[in-house]
Structure 1
Amino acid sequence: MAIAVCSGSFDPVTYGHLDIISRGANVFDKVIVAVLINSKKNSLFSVEERVELLRQATADMKNVEVDSFDGLLIDYMNKKGAQVIIRGLRAVSDFEYEMQVASINKKLDENIETFFMMTNNQYSYLSSSIVKEVAKYKASVADLVPPVVEEALKRKMAE
């Protein structure tokens, strides 16, 4: 059984993330979407909120599981019996960083492969940071995130 992990901060999850997750789920037997716990990052949503939003957004994807982790991704993958890391690329500029990360992961565990997927062109500009910036000014994010995330953003921005 091929198990892949798609990790990130997902603060918040966007349609770009979901595109990569669903396409990965079409390739691998199981995809674990793993929210990285990073105490140094000032996140809008708590880890628990991000996990719940991802669970709701991926509810129709039967071979997708949502989880969170702290520490090295390689350690988490070994704990889960996963063999593949899924990474989405929006632009050439993403590739340079992702190649470095893939190289260190390969050095840490030569049995782990990194699977790069180009994002759908309609999401090539999309990032969680852009979504938060747009939402901050109360502009519509309806075509950027699932409805559950849009509602959560509205509540957060009202606080």
Structure 2
Amino acid sequence: MTKVLYAGSFDPITNGHLEVIKEASSIFELVYISVGNNTKKQYTFSINDRRNFIEDAVKNLPNVKIITEDKLTAQLANELQVDALLRGIRNGTDLDYELAISDLNQTQAPQIKTIFLPSNLKYRSYSSSMIKEIARYHGNLDGLVTKLVAKNLTKEFNLL
């Protein structure tokens, strides 16, 4: 069975992330989504909220499993015995950052390779941070995130 791990903070999950997950689910037999915390980030949503948003978004993808973990991605990859780590790439800046992370992961789990999937063109220009800015200033979230995420962003920024 081919298994892949897609780890991230997903604060919140975007339609760009979802496109990467859908693509991975068509390639791999099992896709693990690991929702974690990055010590350098301040989160809008709790880890449980972020997990719930993803569970709602992928409920029609039976080969996708969501987990939460507080450990190195390479450690988790070893425990899950995945074949590869998955990273979505929007642009050259992402690629530079993700290559550095891939290099570090290889020091911890040299047998596990990283696979980079480019984002769908229509989602390439925005990030979770940008979406939160749109929500904060009452912008239109249609097509950027799921309805559940949009509802919670609206609530979070007191826009109801």
Shorter-chain TM-score: which interval?
A: over 0.9
Q: Distance in 2 between matches of 1:42 and 1:78?
A: 27
Residue in 2 that maps onto 1:31: 31
Mapping for residues 1-159 of structure 1, pairs under 5 Å: 1-158=1-158
Q: Distance in 1 between matches of 2:88 and 2:137?
A: 27
Letter of the 2:63 counterpart? N
- Once the two structures are TM-superposed, the CA of residue 97 in structure 1 deviates from its matched residue by 1.2
- Once the two structures are TM-superposed, the CA of residue 78 in structure 1 deviates from its matched residue by 1.4
Secondary structure of 1:142's counterpart equals coil
Letter of the 2:52 counterpart? E
- Once the two structures are TM-superposed, the CA of residue 144 in structure 1 deviates from its matched residue by 0.3
- Once the two structures are TM-superposed, the CA of residue 56 in structure 1 deviates from its matched residue by 0.2
Cα deviation 1:12-35 (Å, max 9, x = unaligned): 000000000110111101001111
Secondary structure of 2:110's counterpart equals coil
- Segments of structure 2 that go 5 or more residues without pairing to the other structure are none
Q: Distance in 1 between matches of 2:102 and 2:114?
A: 6
TM-score where L is the length of structure 2: 0.95
Q: Distance in 1 between matches of 2:55 and 2:105?
A: 27
Q: Distance in 1 between matches of 2:15 and 2:122?
A: 10
8 Å CA contact 2:78–2:109 kept in 1: the answer is no
- Once the two structures are TM-superposed, the CA of residue 138 in structure 1 deviates from its matched residue by 1.3
Cα deviation 1:95-120 (Å, max 9, x = unaligned): 11111111111121111010001111
Structure 1 runs (4+) deviating above 3 angstroms are none
- Once the two structures are TM-superposed, the CA of residue 71 in structure 1 deviates from its matched residue by 1.7
Give the aligned length.
159
Change in 2 beyond 3 A, CA 1:39/1:100: closer
Secondary structure of 2:115's counterpart equals strand
Q: Distance in 2 between matches of 1:40 and 1:87?
A: 19
- Once the two structures are TM-superposed, the CA of residue 40 in structure 1 deviates from its matched residue by 4.5
Change in 2 beyond 3 A, CA 1:39/1:109: closer
8 Å CA contact 1:37–1:68 kept in 2: the answer is no
